[in-house]
Chain A
Amino acid sequence: MVSSYRGYRAPQGMLSWALHRLTGLGVLLFLFLHIIDIFLVGYGPELFDELLFIYHHPAFVVGQLALIASVYYHAANGIRIIIVDFWSKGYKYESQLFYGAMAVFFLFFIPTAIIMLNALLNEL
């Protein structure tokens, strides 16, 4: 008989919930920063263009990649939550919906990551 033990695994529901909260709060934190930098646009091109070196720094580009992964994950998983809430049979397909959301996530994230890293390498 094959044992069903597969080592420690977080149940899908717990993992997806923890990631949903983490990505939501992470994106909110970035939103605060982003409002401040866009506020500075009002002070004219010298100041704003001077500050953009931050966004062009390789470390920040990688940070943006993490931020965008967070947005895509939170969006795909959020839609999954909404489907299960409003579709009466949704709960029967929870596992499939979770893998579906992950598929949507990678479908969007992989091309985005390639394009962003390509742009970075072209600038270096």
Chain B
Amino acid sequence: MSSNRVGREKPVGSNFELYSWYFFRISGIMLVFLAVIHVMVMHVFNTAFDIDYDFVAARWESPFWRMFDWLLLIMALTHGLNGARIAIDDYVQSAGWRVVGYSAILIALLIFGVMGTLAIVTFEPQ
């Protein structure tokens, strides 16, 4: 049966990989709503030409959209970087370069997580 699977097979033997497997799927289901609604609001119901500083300011008047955007930020960042980790496992063989790769992922998580959170939380319209 395992040969019939389309996704990564459900891992056994390692708790971390098992949690990662579930996390891909749970965050994936959340992202279907978060990411697709985000794309539709920005590019279908509005267009890229409607969006400017005032648009962002009006949107972030509402705590709902700040919360929505922050959830999208965290879910996309953790799900995407976890995917990058899997790609490193597949393509990078040398132990040294793997450490470099994993470190880059953690640094990216920290820097982009902080930048994004600051942008959303500290925004005050001018």
Residues of A in contact with B (beta carbons under 8 Å apart): 13, 16-17, 21, 24-25, 27-28, 31-32, 35-36, 38-39, 41-42, 44-45, 48-49, 52, 55-56, 61, 64, 68, 71-72, 75, 78-82, 84-86, 91, 94, 108, 111-112, 115-116, 119, 122-123
Contact = CB atoms under 8 A, between A and B. Distances in A.
Q: Which secondary structure characterizes the binding site on chain B?
A: helix
A79 B35 CA distance: 13
14 contacts: A25-B80, A27-B76, A31-B112, A35-B73, A42-B123, A48-B53, A56-B49, A71-B39, A75-B31, A75-B35, A78-B31, A84-B5, A84-B6, A91-B1
Interface in B69-109: 73, 76-77, 80-81, 83-84, 87, 108
B17 interface: no
Interface in B37-58: 39-40, 43-44, 47-49, 51-54, 56
Contact of B47 (A36, A78, A119): A119
Interface of B: 1, 4-7, 10, 25, 28-29, 31-32, 35-36, 39-40, 43-44, 47-49, 51-54, 56, 73, 76-77, 80-81, 83-84, 87, 108, 112, 115-116, 118-120, 122-123, 126
Given A42-B123, A94-B6, 19 more contacts: A17-B6, A28-B83, A35-B112, A42-B118, A42-B119, A44-B53, A45-B54, A49-B52, A61-B48, A71-B35, A72-B36, A75-B36, A78-B28, A81-B7, A84-B6, A85-B10, A108-B36, A112-B44, A115-B47
B35 to A, nearest CB: 6
A49 B80 CA distance: 28
Contacts of A36: 115
A49 B55 CA distance: 11
